[in-house]
Structure 1
Amino acid sequence: MSDIKIPDESLRPALEALSIRDPDVAQAFKDCGLPPVRSQEPGFDGLIRMIISQQVSVQSARAILARLIGQVDEITPENILALDDEGMKLAGLSRPKQRYARGLAADVQDGRLNLDRLPDLPDDEVIEQLIQVKGIGRWTCEVYLLFALQRQDVMPAADLALQEGMRLIKGLDARPSPKEMYTLSEGWRPYRSAAARFLWHYYHHTGIA
């Protein structure tokens, strides 16, 4: 993903619609404007990048990804399966993430997971397919839906930055739980993807991140 932060004009209609129905969003949108452009290519490469990004900072994920690409040149199932433990370690992948990456590669290579079919499936079926892969939880499924498949009504409710963004925008005393996130964002349908993008943006805009 690029470091150049270009405002994502494609989000404006959804955020303007949300601003009409939610005064808290309206004020926050007035304060910090549009989120930057952000996307992820669908497929194996994109999922490996998301696995790398789990529970590490953006900077750490970028460094690990750069080292992994240095090891394999191209992120494919074949190249991941051919990379030995030492190569994985040099790239900076933890032992669990080494297992997850290899497991995903084996599932794709052996045909247990057909990534080419996912764009044609509804959101819940995409999650059902992906969550069977060890190391891919609901957060990764929802982020894949949002950024790789560009689905319009997704809320990765377990994301801590989103929870903190919701706390700030809504003036809550405590960070909401994933269940509370789904409840709080219910009124934002069918624009929850734009809302999620905006929550990340607002969280970073506050300078807390």
Structure 2
Amino acid sequence: MTSPDSAEAGLPAPLTADRLRLGAEQLAARDPDFDALLQRFGPPPLWPREPGFATLVQIILEQQVALKAARTLFERLDRHLGGVRPAAVLEVSEAGLRNQGLTRQKARYCHELARRVDSGALDLEQVARQPDADGRQALLAVPGLGPWSVDVYYLMALRRPDVWPQGDLALAVALQDIKGLASPPTRAEQHRFASAWSPWRAVAARLLWVHYLAARGDYPEQGQ
């Protein structure tokens, strides 16, 4: 169901397990490659994340590194700070973040994000209630939050059903595999593929991530 706030703002209902299954079934009905993935793996995971500051920090840490390495770094930071909150990040300063393993650039990004959220310049609860174009503009104004990071936040934390993560390398590799392409598709080519999967592009991305993980032995087929 759509929440009252979402309905008032004209926002799409967030993905749930039931809506995820519905979207996967509709994609399978129109694209045989998705049908094959659904038969092999079943509906993809929701992979939900809690909306808010800590998730945005984790997404920043995930930029251009393996997810496992980013998760380890985030967990270390979480333990050190006693919770990844804006005030705690500001208290340790950029130097303190670097001491926990963050690069100079990512420490600066996380510190600036904390400053904006702590001061009220960026209201993440308001972002969640706004139309996507307005909320995305507010997030993209933060140094370190580019299109991919904002897309992942909308897809995983806000669970919007029709978001395609721009420039995701794993999705490019998965598309190359299932479509039998000679090389990974460019961003423009990915966009052309994904446009046919609206209004379930976020579900398509999850199905493709499952394929990517399974090809590397990190996701089981049904019945295994």
Note the alpha carbon deviations across 1:112-145, whole angstroms, 9 max, x for none. 2111101111222221110000000000110000
Would you say 1:97 and 2:72 are equivalent positions? Answer: no
Give the RMSD, CA atoms, in angstroms. Answer: 1.6
Would you say 1:22 and 2:46 are equivalent positions? Answer: no
Alignment of 1:31-110 (within 5 A): 31-110=40-119
TM-score normalised by L of structure 2: 0.85
Aligned to 2:136: 127
Aligned to 2:174: 165
Aligned to 1:156: 165
Report the 3-state secondary structure (helix = DSSP H, G, I; strand = E; otherwise coil) of the residue aligned with 1:188.
coil
Report the 3-state secondary structure (helix = DSSP H, G, I; strand = E; otherwise coil) of the residue aligned with 2:148.
helix
In the TM superposition, residue 85 of structure 1 has moved relative to its aligned partner by: 4.3
Contact 2:53–2:86 (Cα < 8 Å) also in 1: yes
Contact 2:44–2:210 (Cα < 8 Å) also in 1: yes
Aligned to 1:3: none
In the TM superposition, residue 10 of structure 1 has moved relative to its aligned partner by: 4.5
Number of aligned residue pairs: give it: 202
Aligned to 1:4: none
In the TM superposition, residue 147 of structure 1 has moved relative to its aligned partner by: 0.7
Q: Which moved more, 1:150-159 or 1:32-41?
A: 32-41
In the TM superposition, residue 194 of structure 1 has moved relative to its aligned partner by: 0.5
Q: Which has the higher contact order (CA 8 A, sep 6+)?
A: 2
Note the alpha carbon deviations across 1:59-95, whole angstroms, 9 max, x for none. 2111111211122101111110111445312321110
Contact 2:77–2:100 (Cα < 8 Å) also in 1: yes
In the TM superposition, residue 146 of structure 1 has moved relative to its aligned partner by: 0.5
Which sections of structure 2, spanning at least 5 residues, go unmatched? 1-16, 219-224
Report the 3-state secondary structure (helix = DSSP H, G, I; strand = E; otherwise coil) of the residue aligned with 1:104.
helix
Aligned to 2:21: 12
The 2-side partners of 1:84 and 1:15 are apart by 44
Aligned to 2:3: none
| Residues 178/40 of structure 1: CA separation in 2 closer, same or farther (3 Å cut) | same
The 2-side partners of 1:193 and 1:37 are apart by 10
TM-score normalised by L of structure 1: 0.91
Contact 1:157–1:179 (Cα < 8 Å) also in 2: no
Aligned to 1:112: 121
The 1-side partners of 2:134 and 2:94 are apart by 33
